Amino acid sequence: MLDESGETLVVRAVRTLLAAGCTPLVVVTGGEADAVESAVRHALGGRPVRCVHNPAWESGMGTSIARGVGELPHSASAVLIATCDMPDVTVSHLRELVALTTGGRQRVASAYGNPTTPTLGIPAVLPRGDWPTLAALTGDVGARELLRAPGTLSVFLRRGMFDLDTPDDVAAWRARIGRNATNSPAPSIPYRKPSMPTLAQTALADFDHEFANTRRMLERIPEAHLDFTPHEKSWPLGKLAHHLAEFPMFGEVTVTQPGLDFAAPQPPRPPMPTTAEGFVALFDADLARFRAALDAASDASLLETWTMSSGAHVIMAMPRLAVLRGMVISHMIHHRAQLTIYYRMLNVSVPGLYGPSADEAM
């Protein structure tokens, strides 16, 4: 199958992997192996790419992963597994995966869907310690169980989760890029003018990214140092993490209530967690409610004035959407940045939030 430029999807995927610095590269072929190898050799001759055939390819992806892992050099510290049927995966996403693996010591998966309960999958980086399990894979299972194991880090896949599994998927993709395999307009798929996104949909694209980054910070809470404070005027780490975990709750309050009066009685909240899992669970539960509320919000409601007060004293009054961006998201980013300083002082690995951190440099 050809992409919009007339290049095979296999070659497209290989070019993306090479651009991300993934070498040496092993292409595992199945059906039409000779044609695939010829296309790769013609387009990428002289590059560090080698094709190997999986004679049991019809049994499922597990055998192809096992075949590829068996061809990796002993000098490699980790393997990045990717497929050619996800043509929108970007170089920057692959680089984030590689950076987060910290020299091959950490398993890192791509996360799809709702940040509250993401699905973990490929592209993914698996360290050498996982290779015996990968080499023993059979059938169509793949690396799913390894990626679901505790300790797996993740990078949210903001683009590229669209994969080409069925003829309908291929047709939809070609319609979106505006071309078919011969680079001519797709004749059988009528053009439909896209509807304008709502304010909530536009906001969620940004919010999901920021909440996913905050979740990555909470996953690394050092449970033995909840009382740590870098300065006598600073909050203890546990209190700061607790505040950070509750920002989705503030988002829900902003969307569902006309304002917040600090002088009024407030509903009880769960106690401060004492484990990283507890902070993440609190965050996830609140985030699910916030996303549901925001997804249901109309443009008109997001433009209504929302008020923060303390009794008769008005602290702030502005459109609800501005409150979400400023007092929820930007406020959360502010405290998340504080937590990175705590992590650095405690020698806790700091995740890359807008690109690799110093702890993730290869």
Q: List the CATH number of the domain containing 106.
A: 3.90.550.10
**Looking at the structure, do residues 156 and 203 belong to the same domain, yes or no?**
no
Looking at residue 3, its pLDDT comes to 46
Looking at residue 205, its pLDDT comes to 62
The helix/strand/coil state of 106 is coil
Looking at residue 14, its pLDDT comes to 87
**Residue 134: how many other CB atoms lie within 10 Å:** 20
| In-domain check, residue 179 | no
| In-domain check, residue 307 | yes
Number of structural domains the chain divides into: 2
Residue linked to tokens 């909840």: 226
Looking at residue 269, its pLDDT comes to 85
The domain that contains 340 carries what CATH number? 1.20.120.450
| In-domain check, residue 190 | no
**Looking at the structure, do residues 215 and 347 belong to the same domain, yes or no?**
yes
Domain boundary among the residues 138, 163, 188 is at: 163
| In-domain check, residue 324 | yes
The three state secondary structure string of 155-213 is: EECCCCCCCCCCHHHHHHHHHHHCCCCCCCCCCCCCCCCCCCCCHHHHHHHHHHHHHHH
Using alpha carbons only, how large is the chain's radius of gyration in Å? 24
**Looking at the structure, do residues 218 and 301 belong to the same domain, yes or no?**
yes
3-state helix, strand, coil in the chain (%, to 5): 45, 15, 40
**Looking at the structure, do residues 212 and 144 belong to the same domain, yes or no?**
no
**Looking at the structure, do residues 80 and 222 belong to the same domain, yes or no?**
no
What percent of the chain has pLDDT above 70?
83
The helix/strand/coil state of 246 is coil
Residue 349, sorted as left (phi over 0), alpha (psi -120 to 50) or beta, turns out to be beta
**Looking at the structure, do residues 229 and 127 belong to the same domain, yes or no?**
no
**Looking at the structure, do residues 205 and 155 belong to the same domain, yes or no?**
no
**Looking at the structure, do residues 159 and 205 belong to the same domain, yes or no?**
no
**Looking at the structure, do residues 242 and 312 belong to the same domain, yes or no?**
yes
Confidence (pTM) = 0.50
| In-domain check, residue 184 | no
| In-domain check, residue 76 | yes
| In-domain check, residue 80 | yes
Looking at residue 176, its pLDDT comes to 60
CA neighbor of 242 nearest in space, from 223, 260, 259: 223
How confident is the model over 311-356, as pLDDT tens digits? 999 998 999 999 999 999 999 999 999 999 999 999 999 988 887 7
DSSP-H helix ranges across 183-310: 199-218, 237-245, 247-256, 276-296, 299-302
**Looking at the structure, do residues 86 and 204 belong to the same domain, yes or no?**
no
Backbone φ and ψ for 157, nearest 5 degrees, come out as: -85, 95
Residues of the domain holding 143: 9-163
**How is residue 153 written in tokens?**
């880090």
What lies within 8 Å, CB to CB, of 207 at 6+ separation is 251, 294, 324, 329
How confident is the model over 107-142, as pLDDT tens digits? 888 888 766 667 888 888 998 888 899 988 888 778
| In-domain check, residue 185 | no
**Looking at the structure, do residues 113 and 236 belong to the same domain, yes or no?**
no
